[in-house]
Amino acid sequence: METLLKTEGLTVVYNADDREYVCDLSAIPSGYYVCVNLCTQARYTGKFWLDEEMKKGDPSMGRYVLMGGRKTDENVDFHVIDCNPPAQYYNTENLRLHLQVDIPEENLRLHCCKSDPIKINDTVHGREVGVGYLLCFEDWTDNDYNDFVFTITAWIKKG
């Protein structure tokens, strides 16, 4: 696996064997709701999913898919990919976001922009109550980074 970017709370790696991009979201505090949205203008089809370990601390047990979505056409007009379910309360200790894109060219792969977290702080109690990331992937050479755009937002379940 090759690390594409690493920033505070977010690491994206590329697994060439599976042609898969994996974003480690385990830095999101446990006990937060997590919502993942995908907008796209990519000409390629693909799918994404959010998963976690089946059994904490035992990777041999596999991973459980929590939600996901799919881009099924080659339409490059702006559209939002439905996620099912859109937001849930997750144990974030080993939460990962996966993206697989059906790119027929063997040597072509996505590029990814760096994303620093947007932290939401409670000004009354002086604590973090939410965090957000914008994750932008480029699938060609025009460098507009609008091909697969994820917004990942997380907020505290209960004060």
What percent of the chain has pLDDT above 70? 92
* Chain centroid to CA 128: 21
127-149: average pLDDT: 84
Q: What is the reported pTM? A: 0.84
pLDDT digits (tens, 9 = 90+) for 66-103: 888 889 998 888 888 877 776 666 767 788 899 998 88
| pLDDT value, residue 48 | 92
Per CATH, the architecture of 2-156 is what? Answer: Sandwich (2.60)
Burial class of residue 140, CB neighbours in 10 A (0-12, 13-18, 19+) = middle
Assigned token pair, 29 = 């505090």
| pLDDT value, residue 10 | 84
- Lowest average pLDDT, out of 30-44, 61-75, 134-148, goes to 134-148
pLDDT digits (tens, 9 = 90+) for 46-71: 999 998 887 777 777 788 888 888 89
Q: Are 116 and 8 in contact (CB under 8 A)?
A: yes
